[in-house]
Chains A and B, each alone.
Chain A
Amino acid sequence: EAGVTQFPSHSVIEKGQTVTLRCDPISGHDNLYWYRRVMGKEIKFLLHFVKESKQDESGMPNNRFLAERTGGTYSTLKVQPAELEDSGVYFCASSPGTGRTSVIWKNIQYFGAGTRLSVL
């Protein structure tokens, strides 16, 4: 079974440009999460999809970030325009749905290898 895959593995762009990160979750996983680790600090939550719906986007830093999950399969995270402080590693994770939100917290999240974004 394929794991969570993320593209690209590394992206180098200039300030002001646009970058789109992609995440392919494990097939059949309804829950998809985006996280970010900036400059060796803690990994921080960005948002959570349940199928194609945004369940929680409280961690999105500002409106330069746009996440989509059309059809409830893969997801994209677009940064437009990119700023220097957006540099970091962006992780995607997925977990199976249970049909009961009260036990989602027990489900293991499977992570991708991450996309390292460097904004110059």
Chain B
Amino acid sequence: GNSVTQMEGPVTLSEEAFLTINCTYTATGYPSLFWYVQYPGEGLQLLLKATKADDKGSNKGFEATYRKETTSFHLEKGSVQVSDSAVYFCALSGIGGTSYGKLTFGQGTILTVHP
């Protein structure tokens, strides 16, 4: 079945540091890949997505590239801010059978950014 392995945290950075959160996946075919973010006290929000190989998703300074050859979708940001402190989830949506639409998530990575 589908699975997502996400870099374990927590991750603690200083403001303006470079961020990488690793995400690799196992799936049949060509899944869509997502990064969701959960800010304190809020629900999950879509941060970015990519629907085919070599696509780059980007939003709010975050980027992730769909790498089929390495089955990866690593999240990066060049300069983090205190307001980026949140829990980040990598997820995929597969195809085939009855799996249309349902998301498979990684474990989540807690990011804390200090001033």
Contact = CB atoms under 8 A, between A and B. Distances in A.
A111 B91 CA distance: 13
Contacts of B32: 105-106
Interface residues of B, number: 28
Interface in A1-23: 3-4
Contacts of A43: 44, 89, 91, 103, 105, 108
The 8 closest A-B CB pairs, nearest first, are: A113-B43, A111-B44, A43-B105, A104-B101, A105-B93, A56-B98, A104-B100, A111-B43
27 contacts: A33-B102, A33-B103, A35-B103, A37-B108, A40-B108, A42-B108, A43-B103, A43-B105, A43-B108, A44-B105, A48-B102, A56-B98, A91-B43, A91-B44, A93-B44, A102-B95, A104-B100, A105-B31, A105-B99, A105-B100, A105-B101, A108-B46, A109-B101, A111-B43, A111-B45, A113-B42, A114-B43
> Chain A interface: which size bin?
20 to 34
A111 B114 CA distance: 28
B51 interface: yes
Given A106-B51, A108-B49, A113-B43, A42 B105 contact: yes
A58 interface: yes
Interface of A: 3-4, 31, 33, 35, 37, 40-45, 48, 55-56, 58-59, 91, 93, 95, 101-102, 104-114
A36 to B, nearest CB: 11
Given A43-B44, A111-B43, 18 more contacts: A33-B102, A35-B103, A40-B107, A40-B108, A43-B89, A44-B105, A56-B98, A95-B101, A101-B100, A104-B101, A105-B32, A105-B99, A105-B100, A105-B101, A107-B101, A109-B101, A111-B44, A113-B42
Nearest to A105: B93
B85 interface: no
